[in-house]
Amino acid sequence: MRNRIRTLIHNISRDTGIQISAGMILFSVILMLASRYHKGFAQWYALNIYPIFPETLGRIFSPWPMSLFEVGILMAVFAAVYFIFMSIWRLYINNGKQKVFILTGLKKGMLLISALILTYTLTCSINYHRDDIGTVLKRPVEAVSVAKLETLCILLSEQMIVLMDNPEWTSSLQSLNDMDSIGTEAIAAMKNLGDREPSLSGYYPNPKPIYFSKLMSMMGIEGIYSPFTMEANYNNDMTSFLVPFTMCHEFAHLKGYMREEDANFIAYLASKDSPSPAFQYSGAFHALTYSLNALKKAVSIEQYYDTYEKLPELVRIQLSYIGEQNREGPVIYRDMARYVNNAYLLANAQSKGAGSYGLMVDYLIAEYKDVLEPDELL
Ligand SMILES: [Zn+2]
C-alpha cells in the first residue's frame, strides 16, 4: 500500500500539467505576499506592469457585443455539470477507462483554475494594495464631524435640484435610453479625468451589459468588473440614471483601483466633471446615498430624519423610489450577495469588509472642504 502511494506521488510530481499548475499557484502566492508585505511593490506594479492588461486584453475583448465574462461563467458551469455527470456515468458502466477519464478531467480543471488564479492575481489582487486615490490625488482626508456630514447631504441634494432645473435636463435624461451613448460618454468622462491623473489615462474598452441583469438586480448589484477579460460589466435592468456612475465605477476598477471607496470617488469625480447633466446627477445621487448611509450610522434615528426632512421633496421621492426597488425580490439573494462580497473583501485583506465604503464620504468631505464650514451653511 505504502509503495503504491509512493508511486502515485512520484507519477504526479513528474506530470508536466501538474508541475505547470503548481508553478502558477506558487508564483501567484509570491506576488500576493510581495504586494501585502513589501512596501511600494503594489504601487510600482500598478503603474508599470498592470496597464499592459487593459491595453492588450481590453482591446481584444472590447469589440465583442456580449460580456465574455458572463459567457465564461456559463461555460464553466456547463463544463462542471458535464464532467460530474459523465464521471458518475462512467463509474456506473465500469468499462475500465473511468479512472483515466476522471484523472484527465481533474488535471485539466486544475490547470484552468491555476491559470485563472494567476490571471486574477496579476489583474486584480495585487492592485488592492496600491496607493489609494486620496494619496494619488494628494487630498488628505480629515476626521469627519456630523455637522459637516449633514451639510454635505444638503449640498449634494441641492446640486441635484439645480441639475433638474438645467435647460438640457430633459434631453440629457432621454440620452439615458441609449446605453451605447452612455458608454461613449462614460469613456469620455474617464479620459477627461485621465488628462489630470495619468493613472486613469489610456485605453477604455466598451462597457458591456449583463444578459442576466435581472439576477443582478435581485442581488442588489449595479455592475461587475471582470479581471479575466478586462470588461466593465453593468446591470442594464436598473433605473437608467444609476448607469453612468456604475460604468465609471467599473472603469476605475479596470484602471487598477480595486478598493470600492477609491472606485466610488473616481466615478464621482468623472460624473461630476462630465458635460452631461444626467452624468452629474448620477454622481450626485450616489454620493448622497453614501453620505446618508454614513450619517445614519453616525447619529440617532431622530437626528437622521431631522436632516432627511431638510432635503428637497423631489430628492426624497427619488431616494425612496430607488430604495423600494432595492428591496424588491427575495431577501435571500441580497443577503447571499452581501455575504459573498464581505468574504471576498476580507480574502483580499480589506479588513473592514463592506464597512470600508465609509472612506468615500471622507473623500467627499475633503473635496468640498472649502464650502463645508458648518456654521456658514446650517
Ligand atoms: Zn466595485
Mean pLDDT of 198-211: 96
pLDDT band of 8, cuts 50, 70, 90? low
- 300 Ramachandran zone, left/alpha/beta (phi>0; psi -120 to 50): beta
Rounded to an integer, what distance in angstroms lies between the CA atom of residue 328 and that of residue 39?
44
CA of 185 relative to ligand 1 center, distance in Å? 19
Vertex 308: Cα angle to 304 and 311 (nearest 5): 155
Range among 90-94, 145-149, 206-210 with highest mean pLDDT value: 206-210
Closest CA to 181 of 244, 117, 111, 139: 244
pLDDT of residue 357: 40
Give residue limits of the domains in the chain. 2-129, 133-377
Closest CA to 278 of 241, 324, 239, 245: 241
Enumerate residues with CB within 5 Å of ligand 1 (an ion). Answer: 263
Backbone angles phi, psi at 223, to 5 degrees: -160, 170
pLDDT of residue 139: 82
CA of 251 relative to ligand 1 center, distance in Å? 9
pLDDT of residue 273: 96
Q: Tens of pLDDT along 26-48?
A: 999 999 999 999 989 999 999 99
pLDDT band of 125, cuts 50, 70, 90? very high
pLDDT of residue 136: 93
Q: Tens of pLDDT along 347-369?
A: 776 655 444 447 888 899 888 98
CA of 249 relative to ligand 1 center, distance in Å? 6
Asked if 311 and 270 count as a contact pair (C-beta separation under 8 A), the reply is no
CA of 121 relative to ligand 1 center, distance in Å? 17
Tell me the CB-side half-sphere exposure of residue 191, using CA atoms within 13 A: 11
CA of 248 relative to ligand 1 center, distance in Å? 10
Q: Where are the beta strands (DSSP E) in 116-218?
A: 208-209
- Show the DSSP H helices in 208-300 as ranges: 213-219, 243-254, 260-272, 277-298
Question: In sequence order, what are the residues at sequence separation of 6 or more whose Cβ sits closer than 8 angstroms to the Cβ of residue 192?
Answer: 270, 273, 274
Cell of 124: 486584480
Rounded to an integer, what distance in angstroms lies between the CA atom of residue 366 and that of residue 89?
62
